[in-house]
Structure 1
Amino acid sequence: MITAGDFRNGVTFELDGNIFQIVEFQHVKPGKGAAFVRTKLKNIVTGATVERTFNPTDKMPKAHIERKDMQYLYSDDDFYHFMDVETFEQMPIGKANVGDALKFVKENEVVKILSHKGNVFGIEPPTFVELKITETDPGFKGDTATGATKPATVETGAVIKVPLFVDNGDVIRIDTRTGEYMERV
């Protein structure tokens, strides 16, 4: 059991038959009245976010989320296919369960498969990935005073904003949590 007073970002718990992960939390102690905890929760099965307040003494059962390393093999019309790196078993996961979590992941990279009681609900890509720029417009000399950016397509097909000095063929590091350009490699 976990009390609302012990909430931290990323903690998962069961509430009303659903499993939620804390996205944001704030302990509030007003001048008058009792303290409370204001939260933004993400339903890990549906992906919906809700805002809810709790008393600091409210107790909920903690949900155990399994994170398993699996190698991304390939995708077809309806499924992404993964291989367990320990047992070499292959597992297809429906594209609806994955969402856009793989937009920065190349084939043969290792990702974490998230599941609760055997039901896969999501994928955690590596925090940083290095990808090659396949298509971008050339930057203009002298147009750097404003920190301007331009769209660029990486080898996985995702489009991100990059600085003007990045060219086709450059390898860049991307933060997969935000989808932002970090640096040229």
Structure 2
Amino acid sequence: MVSAGDFKNGITIELDNNIYQIIDFQHVKPGKGAAFVRTKLKNIKNGGVVEKTFRPTEKCPKAHIDRKDMQYLYNDGELYYFMDVETFDQIALGEEIIGDSLKFVKENEVVKTVAHAGNVFAIEPPLNVELLVTECEPGEKGNTAQGATKPCIVETGAQVLVPLFVNEGDTLKIDTRTGEYLSRV
């Protein structure tokens, strides 16, 4: 149990049968009345953000979140299969859990599964990945305004905006959080 007076950014708590991560908190001491803690909570499972106030003495159970390295094996159309890199146990997850998190991940790459009480609810891809450009239009001569970009398709099928000098067959480094081009490899 963690009391509201001890809240810190990043702590995960259980509240109303959901798991929330504290994004922001503020201890408020008004001129009249009792002090309280104003928080912004992010629902870890669906990503929604709510604001809630607590009395400093209120207690919430701390949620234990497990992150485990798993190798992404393959997708059979409905399910995505992962293997524990230590025990070689395999699990299958549905598309509703995966969402867009594997947009830049190739088969056989290691990702992190995020679970609470043994139930996986999210996948965290590596921060940066290196992918081959499979489709890309050539950059037009004279179209060299600062920051000019063009769309390219990488080997996972995702579309990325890249600078004009990138060509088909190049290997790119991509930030998986934003989907932005970082550099050529």
| TM-score, with length taken from structure 2 | 0.87
Q: Specify the alignment match of 1:68 in structure 2.
A: 68
Q: Specify the alignment match of 2:162 in structure 1.
A: 162
Task: Give the match's secondary structure for 1:96.
Answer: helix
CA RMSD, 1 decimal: 2.1
Q: Equivalences for 1:146-185 in 2 at 5 Å?
A: 146-185=146-185
Measure how far apart 1:55 and its partner are. Answer: 3.4
CA distance in 1, matches of 2:163, 2:31: 50
Gaps of 5+ in 2: none
Letter in 2 for 1:93: L
Q: Specify the alignment match of 2:9 in structure 1.
A: 8
Q: Equivalences for 1:9-158 in 2 at 5 Å?
A: 9=10, 11-22=11-22, 24-27=23-26, 29=28, 34=35, 36-44=37-45, 47-55=46-54, 57=56, 58-158=58-158
Letter in 2 for 1:129: V
CA distance in 2, matches of 1:56, 1:100: 38
Task: Give the match's secondary structure for 2:97.
Answer: helix
Question: Which range moved further: 135-144 or 172-181?
Answer: 135-144
Task: Give the match's secondary structure for 1:63.
Answer: coil
Task: Give the match's secondary structure for 1:100.
Answer: coil
CA distance in 2, matches of 1:29, 1:52: 14
The answer on whether the counterparts of 2:20 and 2:41 sit within 8 Å (CA) in structure 1 is: no
Q: CA deviation digits over 1:118-156, x for unaligned, max 9?
A: 111111111111111111211123433321211111100
Measure how far apart 1:167 and its partner are. Answer: 1.1
Question: Which range moved further: 98-107 or 142-151?
Answer: 142-151
> Number of residue pairs matched?
181
Gaps of 5+ in 1: none
Q: CA deviation digits over 1:16-75, x for unaligned, max 9?
A: 1111233x315275875656434141242xx14032132372432110011111111100
Q: Once the two structures are aligned, what percentage of the paired residues are identical?
A: 54
Task: Give the match's secondary structure for 1:168.
Answer: coil
